[in-house]
Amino acid sequence: MMAADTPLEAHLTNLAAALAPFRRHEPLLARWGAALARRLVDGGRLLVAGNGGSAAEAQHLTAELVGKLREDRQPLSALALHAETSAMTAIGNDYGYDEVFARQVRAHGRDCDILLLLSTSGSSANLLAAARAGRDGGLTCWALTGPAPNPLAELCHDVLAVDSPDSQVVQELHLVTSHLLCEYVERELPVALAVPVRTGVEVVLDGGAAQQAQGVMRRQA
């Protein structure tokens, strides 16, 4: 029988303790999946950033969206900001490491995009700067963090906070979150593709006033 104080037993005990409260995030994950599917179908993008292990998880998530999780489907636009290594090092050299994500958000972010920031501590200065840049640019800002409250959670519009003091467990459940988010996105894609989208053509009248001529377009799945 395995000793109760081995690294394996201690780690699994911490993971098991975090799994029960993690289940309460199901409504949030379903809501995020539906919102993200709609944004991506509408031409928006997902911008993701993190440091260290969280950077690896951010890139894992974008790979699943641009590629696929299960069944073949259209590619979805998702960018891991830390993967722009030349931009990262240039910005860090010229403006400091706190700006490596924020400047990219200001460069690439549009008000139809979603910015997702991963941090076990919720206090990384470069992610806080990115969140501020995202909010200033009109992006929807989400965070994956460790226990809340924390500074990043307070800056973002929505947060999934993993309730564990162990940063390794937090990162492991962030990976679970990424897979589940992709699951919900792929489940919601047929709905998002079928919803009529209003398009408009601006018509300028003799008096100079502009009216919007509305048409309806239905996306093809």
Look at residue 209 in the predicted model and tell me its pLDDT: 46
Residue corresponding to tokens 């690294």: 7
130: pLDDT strictly greater than 60? yes
Could you tell me the two tokens for 100? 């490596």
Residue 112: DSSP 8-state: T
The answer to whether the CB of 122 falls within 8 A of the CB of 143 is yes
pLDDT tens per residue across span 82-119: 999 999 999 999 999 999 999 999 999 999 999 999 99
In degrees and rounded to multiples of 5, residue 48 shows phi and psi of -130, 145
Q: What is the DSSP letter of 195?
A: S
Average pLDDT, the chain: 90
Supply angle C-alpha 197, 199, 201, rounded to 5. 175
User: What's the pLDDT score for residue 92?
Assistant: 98
Please provide the size of the chain in residues.
221
Mean pLDDT, rounded, for 148-177: 98
Contact between residue 10 and residue 165 where contact means Cβ atoms under 8 Å apart? no
pLDDT score, position 71: 87
Q: How far apart are CA 220 and CA 135, in angstroms?
A: 32
Cis peptide bond prior to 151, omega within 30° of 0: no
Helix (H) or strand (E) run with residue 125 in it:
helix 125-136
Q: What is the pLDDT of residues 2-48, one digit of tens each?
A: 556 899 999 999 999 999 999 999 999 999 999 999 999 999 999 99
pLDDT at 205: 44
Determine contact, residues 103/91, Cβ cutoff 8 Å: yes
What is the spatial distance between Cα 202 and Cα 26, in angstroms, rounded to a whole number?
42
135 exposure class (CB count in 10 Å sphere: 0-12, 13-18, 19+): middle
Alpha carbon distance 172, 169 (integer Å): 5
Residues 6+ apart with CB under 8 A from 37: 184, 185, 186, 188, 189, 191, 192
Query: For residue 196, what is the enclosing H or E element?
Result: strand 196-204
User: What global pTM score does this model have?
Assistant: 0.86
Question: CA angle, 39 as apex, 38 and 44 as ends, to 5°?
Answer: 150
Predicted local distance difference test score (pLDDT) of residue 5: 83
